[in-house]
Amino acid sequence: MYHTLRLTKWEWFKVRRLRIPWILLAIALLVSQLGIWVNYLAFNNDDVNMLMGGGFVSYSVSWEEPTPGSIEITCSDFVNDRMPPGFDQIPEDRRAEFLKEMDAWRADGVCDGFADREQLRRGFTLPNSITQSIAIISSFRPIAIGPILIMILAASILGSEYGWGTLRTVLAGGIGRWKFLFAKLLLLIRMCSDALIVISLLAVVSSLVIALISSDENGGIADSGKWSEVVLIFLKTVYGLLPFIALGIFATVLTTSRGIGIALSVGYFIVESILATLLRLNDTLADVADYLLIQAFLSWTTVPSELDSSETVGVFVAILGYSVILVAATAWVFKQRDIGGAIGD
C-alpha cells in the first residue's frame, strides 16, 4: 500500500504538467459559478427571474367605467406577495372578482418556476452558494457535466500513457499492473476531491464579492442554511463519480486509445440518457431507469435528498456495484492485454 501511495504521489506531480486537467478544471469552475451569479442577477432584476422561470408571464384586467384603465400583475408580484401598482384604481365592485380570478390564474401553476427573493438570496449567500455550486456540477438537470468531465479526464490521463509509450516503460520498471491501475484510480479520486474543494473556495469568494458590491438591503455573506449539506454533497459527489472514473479507465484500457476512450465514455452517457427517457414511458420499466448509472448518480447527489431511506440504500448499492464491476473488468482486460510502444494518440 505504501508503494501504491508513493506511485500516486508521483503520478500527481506528473499530470500537473498536462494541459487537459487545467482546461477541465476551468470549465468546471465557470459552470459552477453560473448558479451564484444568475441568482444574484435575478434577485436584482425581475426580467432575469422571469427568464429563469420559463418566460414572461402576467395577468391583466381592464375596465371602462367609471374611467378607462387597466392593471397587470406579474409572477414577481405573486411570489413576493405584492399587490401590483394601480390596484387601488380598480373599481371597488371589481376588486373581489379580480382577486378571485388572480388566484385561479395562479392555481394553474404558471408561476411555479418563479423563485421568490428569499430563495434567490440563498442562492448567492453561504452556505447554500457552496452547495449549489457543487450541485450544478453533479446533479444539475438535464445534463450533469461532472460525470462527463471526469470521464474525459480519466481517459485522457491513462490514454496519454498509451499514446506516449510510457506505460510499457513504467511496467517494465517492476511496478505491478494492479498497483498501477489502483494508483491511477486514487489519483483521479484525489483530483476530483481537489476540484470540488477549489469550486467550494471560489463559491466563498463569489459570495464575499457579492456582499461587498451589494447595497445594505442585499448585503451579507451568510444566510440561513445547513453547513452539513455542504459536507454531505461533497462526499456524495466524490462517491457518486467513482463509477464514471472507472468507466473512463475501462474504455481506455479496452481500446488502448485516449480519443476512442473518451468517445466511448461520452457515448455511453448520451445513450443511457436517451434510454432512461424511453424506459420512463413504460410504467413497468420506469423503476428500472432509476437504477441506471447516470440516473442513480443524479438521484444520489441531489441535496436535499429526494429519496427515502430504502431508496438511498438501493442507489448506494447500485453505484457501488457499478464501480466494482467496472474496476474488475478493467483489471481483467489490463492483465490480459499486451502493452506495446507509443501509438501517437
Residue 215 counted as domain residue? yes
Please check whether residues 37 and 62 belong to one and the same domain: no
Res 308: pLDDT: 81
Asked which of 94, 114, 134 is the last residue of a domain, the reply is 114
Q: Are residues 131 and 73 in the same domain?
A: no
In-domain check, residue 213? yes
Asked whether residue 37 carries a pLDDT value surpassing 80, the answer given is: yes
Residue 344 located in a structural domain: no
242 shares a domain with 109: no
Whether 155 and 247 map to the same domain: the answer is yes
Q: Which three cell numbers stand for residue 62?
A: 381592464
- 67, 99, 114 — which closes off a domain? 114
pLDDT at residue 207 above 60?
Answer: yes
**Boundaries of domain holding 58:** 54-114
Judged against a pLDDT cut of 70, whether residue 298 lies above it is answered with yes
Q: What does the pLDDT read at residue 344?
A: 56
Query: How high is the pLDDT of residue 38?
Result: 87
pLDDT tens for each residue of 315-332: 999 999 999 999 999 999
- Residue 342: inside a domain: no
Do 8 and 96 belong together in one domain? no
- The confidence score (pLDDT) of residue 134 equals 94
Within this chain, do residues 122 and 255 fall inside the same structural domain, yes or no? yes
Percent of the chain, pLDDT > 70?
A: 77
Within a domain: 341: no
Residues 259 and 229 in one domain: yes
Of 64, 97, 114, which residue constitutes the final position of a domain?
114
Each residue of 53-78: pLDDT tens digit? 544 556 666 766 666 767 777 766 76
Summarised one tens digit per residue, pLDDT across range 85-129 is 666 777 777 777 777 777 776 667 666 666 677 778 888 889 999
Percent of the chain with pLDDT over 90: 38
Please tell me the predicted confidence (pLDDT) of residue 249. 95
* Number of domains within the chain: 2
Residue 97 and residue 21 in one domain? no
Same structural domain, 155 and 71: no
Q: Is 306's pLDDT higher than 80?
A: no
Within a domain: residue 49? no
pLDDT of residue 218: 53
Answer yes or no: do 159 and 307 share one domain: yes
Please give the mean pLDDT across all residues of the chain: 82
Shared-domain flag, residues 68 and 149: no
Give the model confidence (pLDDT) of 153-199 as tens digits.
Answer: 999 999 888 777 777 777 766 777 888 889 899 999 999 999 999 99
106 falls within a domain: yes
- Cα–Cα nearest to 260, from 129, 328, 162, 114: 162
Which position has the higher pLDDT, 134 or 167?
134
Q: Are residues 67 and 191 in the same domain?
A: no
The upper half-sphere exposure of residue 59, i.e. CA atoms within 13 Å in the direction of its Cβ, equals 22
The average pLDDT across 197-212 equals 94
Cα–chain-centroid distance for residue 202?
A: 16
Q: Tell me: the pLDDT tens digits for 220-279?
A: 676 767 888 899 999 999 999 999 999 999 999 999 889 999 999 999 999 999 998 899
Band (pLDDT 50/70/90 cuts) for residue 280 is confident
Kindly state the average pLDDT of the residues 293-299.
90
pTM score: 0.82
Least reliable range by pLDDT among 146-155, 208-217, 274-283? 208-217
Q: What pLDDT sits at residue 32?
A: 93
Q: Is residue 48, in this structure, part of any structural domain at all?
A: no
Question: Is the per-residue pLDDT at 80 higher than 70?
Answer: no
